[in-house]
Amino acid sequence: MSRQTREVHRHYIDGEWTAGAGEETFTSENPATGETIGTFRRATEADVEQAVDAAAAAAETWRGLSYIDRAEVLWEVYHELRERTDELGEIVTRECGKEISEGRADVV
């Protein structure tokens, strides 16, 4: 008999994937179908503080960039979103129970 394990999705904090400080998890379901999308680790207060500190540090770095450098970063993000519209639109559709056209529209 094979035993299936469920992947627990982690947090992305300060440029790295981390399991977080807590053990509690929750599942996310597609509201339209009831399908389980995934299992996620619930963030603790320490996880949130770490994420906020990292975001504040990143904001300082961002503030120090010229408007041209910031525009280049945003242009790259725009192109990444355009390239991945179908993939990301499907994720939005599953998470929100929307039609695929609405999910894709939310991406771009």
Say if residue 73 is in the same domain as residue 55: no
In one-letter notation, the amino acid at residue 32 is A
Round to whole Å and give the CA distance between 89 and 105. Answer: 7
Where are the strands (E) in 1-108, listed by range?
8-9, 11-13, 16-18, 25-29, 36-41
Domain that holds residue 13: 1-64
Say if residue 23 is in the same domain as residue 58: yes
Say if residue 37 is in the same domain as residue 47: yes
Q: Cβ of 91: how many Cβ atoms within 10 Å?
A: 14
pLDDT tens, residue order, the chain (108 aa): 334 457 899 999 999 999 999 999 999 999 999 999 999 999 999 999 999 999 999 999 999 999 999 999 999 999 999 999 999 999 999 999 999 999 999 998
Say if residue 74 is in the same domain as residue 57: no
Q: How many folded domains does the chain comprise? A: 2
Q: What is the pTM of this model?
A: 0.77
Say if residue 54 is in the same domain as residue 6: yes
